[in-house]
Chains A and B, each alone.
Chain A
Amino acid sequence: AQSVTQLGSHVSVSEGALVLLRCNYSSSVPPYLFWYVQYPNQGLQLLLKYTTGATLVKGINGFEAEFKKSETSFHLTKPSAHMSDAAEYFCAVRGSGGGFKTIFGAGTRLFVKA
């Protein structure tokens, strides 16, 4: 079975500051891991994903995440926040291979202060 926990339902940063959104997962098989972003009144957009290979994954809009198996974590970072990054962010996990569903975390709302 898979599960995902996002630490912090709300995160507030100043414009230009580091963004760190935390995600821990559990999975009975090697996981696929995802970060999605949802802007107000829109659907979900994939920011980045980890399936296999390099553990540091770069995504769109300057975001990246690192898969740390020993810590069962997949934290999302961005060196410098922009006002346009204000949105809801969802971490998700699914088991590699067939027959697994994607499980979404509760979400973290990111606020960016001017």
Chain B
Amino acid sequence: SAVISQKPSRDICQRGTSLTIQCQVDSQVTMMFWYRQQPGQSLTLIATANQGSEATYESGFVIDKFPISRPNLTFSTLTVSNMSPEDSSIYLCSVENRGRDEQYFGPGTRLTVT
């Protein structure tokens, strides 16, 4: 299995500002995923990040709002830009195992926008 850490674990931010969330994995992985979990809801995939290429965004999510970096095989960042209260969510980083039949999740970043 993979051990995933995220920073920060939580933050309270003012509207109009940006926050960058870091995801660190203890092993090299090809694909990393960023999810959003709004209060009381399920997980929604924001984007898939492969090392050395542009992230692939899901419908409803755009690069200007959620820029992603993937500089190497163990690290990624997600930035939530120009935040509004509607961005208040838990943001989760995830990776696949080698067999691509299992995903591991980080502990999440709980974001509150005031």
Contact = CB atoms under 8 A, between A and B. Distances in A.
A, B in one complex: yes
Interface of A: 32, 34, 36, 41-46, 49, 51, 90, 96, 98, 101-102, 104-107
Interface of B: 4, 41-43, 45, 48, 92, 100-108, 110
A43 B101 contact: no
A45 B92 CA distance: 12
A101 B34 CA distance: 12
A44 B105 contact: yes
B103 A102 contact: yes
B43 A104 contact: yes
B92 A44 contact: yes
Given A43-B92, A43-B107, A106 B41 contact: yes
A41 B39 CA distance: 11
Nearest to A32: B101
A36 B92 CA distance: 14
A81 B100 CA distance: 31
Contacts of A101: 45, 48
Contacts of A41: 110
A46 to B, nearest CB: 6
